[in-house]
Structure 1
């Protein structure tokens, strides 16, 4: 099994674990109220959903690596880029969930606990995230397309 496949499978398991445990955290937040009207912090719910979705997205990445006709180092770089930004997103959701500091991390001023994050940092992070996730995917998609065109 290629390194990129190992990375994708290990990441899928890690994201699934985060999704399951944040689901327990979410349940605990709801359970606080006898009538079930209370909720967990918004970003606990966001983290829960995102981690579960990223787990399955990592399985797609693994399959793409398996089918790709690219060099293993290129596949590893592309998969690692996508997984890194998945983890970056989940990490920010976890932090906001833990701090319960916002229900919209993109609302200005950008809160982080009691502090404020500069808008340029938030905007730059979002551009890097989009470019990294889409770019890594497109590299792997090109590798899969090459395989499909050959056979």
Structure 2
């Protein structure tokens, strides 16, 4: 049994991934093989291989669907795939990896999206360059933080 605050994942001889960061507003479980039971708010759902379940922590709503198992498991090799993901979510993850503070110069920049692959095994500079190449933003180091600004 994996406890996730008010939610639980009951394991039935299996391989799965759970994403449950306190700063996120959701919990996601993806089943790779075997069987799991996701329990939250006095409800439960059993997942079959290649299925995922998402619990929105703010309102308790639950949705299920098919998962891309290859992309979901890529984190084990240090790779994270994004498809039209908000820059704010990606930056939050990069902050965790590299223990570095990021500051958006404009709120609007946090809503920009990114599609591509970020590799945790590469340097922070490498990953930020990848994001810069696909967006109209740039990253600048200042006073121990990385400032995200609009490209001119």
- Give the TM bin, normalised by the shorter chain: under 0.3
The one of the two structures with greater contact order (alpha-carbon pairs below 8 A, sep at least 6) is 1
Which structure has more strand as a fraction of its residues?
A: 2
Which structure has more helix as a fraction of its residues?
A: 1
